[in-house]
Structure 1
Amino acid sequence: MSTPNTPSSTAAGLPQYEVFAIRYATRGGKRANHFLGGDPHDAPMPMDYYLWLIRGNGRTVVVDTGFGREVAQRRGRTLLRLPAEGLALLDVEAAAVKDVVITHLHYDHVGTFDAFAGARFHLQDDEMAYATGRYMCHRQFNHGYEVEEVIGMVRLVYKDRVDFHRGDAELAPGITLHRIGGHTHGLQCVRVHTARGWVVLASDASHFYEHFEKKRVFTTMFNVGEAVDGYGTLLRLADSPQHVIPGHDPLVMQRYPAPNPALEGVVARLDVQPQNAA
């Protein structure tokens, strides 16, 4: 599947989807924690954790499945709500979802997959090979994975509930998957056609806005070159830099409106124009 230089030019006739970021957990941190090579500024830089909902044209797609209570406690994260509870706020029952995109198999993106009992899971070939291959012998690569979750996904392969993709793929008209790599060998992003144009859910292809804006990379990294090249891919896929949604930045909740006042700080609607863009 080719990547056009002007995505909106090919969008005629495609469905327009609603897209939501659901904040389910958070943790503190400093700038030095989030940039390879550190950072000269000793300033706070907290990290939020999201899953994403794509809805429209008779289809509901969830992107990533977060983590649960046990992992939150063990890894020192503040769990605000279970991912399934976050989806319920938007009237989505996790067990009824038919398609779940797993951007990569790190603990904070696949942790509650078993709550999605009726889903097919969409994963890159390279990610499964990476998470079960030789590089997992090394702590610097394996620390982001939970062994039982990787095993759980392998079990789903044997139950014919995983659809593997190699590179670019169309999940549905107006929803496409794109391998980025970098952070992990098989990391993928999701491109969605919306009323405001093509929105790209970067996931951990760019943890924070600052990563793709300044071409800096996160500390957990398999291939730095792929990560930096990936920023260009994100920008080519999106209609503008404001259409790229990073995977962990608290600014997402500030820049995009909640679908209703009760969900302020919990859910951000991404298919509308940002309200407080930098």
Structure 2
Amino acid sequence: MNRDITMLTSSKQGYTNMNQTGAPWQILALRYSENKKRTRRDSFIFASKPDAPHTMDFFFWVLRRGEEVIVVDTGMDTAEAARRDRPILHAPVDMLTSIGIDPADVKTLIITHLHFDHAGCIDAFPNATIHIQAEELSFATGAMMTNDALRLPYALDPITTIVTRLHKGDVVVHDGECAIAQGVTGHLLGGHSAGLMALTVQTRRGKLLLASDVAHYYESVTKGLVFLIVVDAAKMVHGYNWLREHAEGDISRILPAHDPLIRRVYPEVAPDIFDLSATPDHQLLDELGSSST
């Protein structure tokens, strides 16, 4: 049995409130789109069973404690979704509104990376301070964007928006590990994109690893599979190792970005909104250890 698999078993207004300092965060995953047309060869380099279906879910996230809110990534807008044939199940802005969050009131927005499905609605947050890694900003606006393959996961409108907001003074550009809020830390890992950032978040069940696209699926981590869209494969594998190390042997502490298993493992608290800080289905997570490669 793969050593890595055996190790990873389970064991409204203003949105700032300093009185919440030290309290745990709730993490909500908002599922706004899906792609059921994919196969395993669309996900992984040298995929086993390459023609087998491999659905991808699309999430963005909300960190919440009391009235304090941090939005992590913004999903994709309807125009880009149509262009790429990704059906929008719920407009990201509408999902926020449905849980009492007005994007205009959000003060902190974290962009883990600038791919089209993570940064498509930044302009809906006019009053937010935006946090991003310097390496991601540099890559997405630099010479590598002349290459068709490297440019493919990016869209022009989010890049234009982030640069405009940068010039307005709305963007905090980080270089490596960064404290974004009390109990929320960013970690530069790269791999899938040049400046990809994961987060550690303190919740009621301890420290959780909001992986974003450091891990698209649980099996990315448990099997070390290299995702098809990659800037640096070595850094991608390092990211998996980093997640395993910081999860301390408990896969339930890792929160992947695109895995439909999220919907089975965590409770749904509103239509297509899942509480990742709640107790997961550990038995289901343990079954990952017996899945074949």
Alignment match, 1:59: 68
Pair 1:23-2:21 in alignment: no
Pair 1:272-2:258 in alignment: no
Q: Which deviations, in whole Å up to 9, do the C-alpha atoms of 1:104-130 show, x marking residues without a partner?
A: 000100001111111111000000010
Aligned partners of 1:19, 1:38: CA distance in 2, in Å?
31
Aligned partners of 1:170, 1:226: CA distance in 2, in Å?
22
Q: Which of 42, 45, 53 is the matching residue for 2:54?
A: 45
Aligned partners of 1:91, 1:238: CA distance in 2, in Å?
32
| Shift, 1:37, TM fit | 2.4
Alignment match, 2:252: 242
TM-score by length of 1: 0.91
Aligned partner of residue 144 in structure 1, secondary structure = coil
Q: Report how many aligned residue pairs link the two structures.
A: 262
Pair 1:193-2:202 in alignment: yes
Aligned partner of residue 78 in structure 1, secondary structure = coil
Q: CA RMSD in A?
A: 1.4
Matched ranges for 1:133-212 at <5 A: 133-212=142-221
Alignment match, 2:118: 109
Alignment match, 2:133: 124
Aligned partner of residue 163 in structure 1, secondary structure = strand
Q: Is the 8 A contact 1:198 1:237 kept in 2?
A: no
Gaps of 5+ in 1: 1-12
Q: Which deviations, in whole Å up to 9, do the C-alpha atoms of 1:197-232 show, x marking residues without a partner?
A: 111111111111111110011100000000000112
TM-score by length of 2: 0.86
| Shift, 1:91, TM fit | 1.3
Structure 1 segments of 4+ aligned residues over 6 angstroms from their partners: none
Aligned partners of 2:247, 2:103: CA distance in 1, in Å?
28
Whichever residue aligns with residue 25 of structure 2, its letter is Y
Aligned partners of 1:40, 1:250: CA distance in 2, in Å?
18
Whichever residue aligns with residue 84 of structure 2, its letter is R
Percent of matched pairs sharing the same residue: 34
| Shift, 1:14, TM fit | 3.8
Q: Which deviations, in whole Å up to 9, do the C-alpha atoms of 1:14-43 show, x marking residues without a partner?
A: 421111100001112111110012333421
Aligned partners of 1:20, 1:116: CA distance in 2, in Å?
18
Aligned partners of 2:50, 2:143: CA distance in 1, in Å?
36
Alignment match, 1:256: 266
| Shift, 1:58, TM fit | 4.3
Q: Is the 8 A contact 1:14 1:193 kept in 2?
A: no
Aligned partners of 1:38, 1:214: CA distance in 2, in Å?
11
Aligned partners of 1:214, 1:134: CA distance in 2, in Å?
33
Whichever residue aligns with residue 251 of structure 1, its letter is L
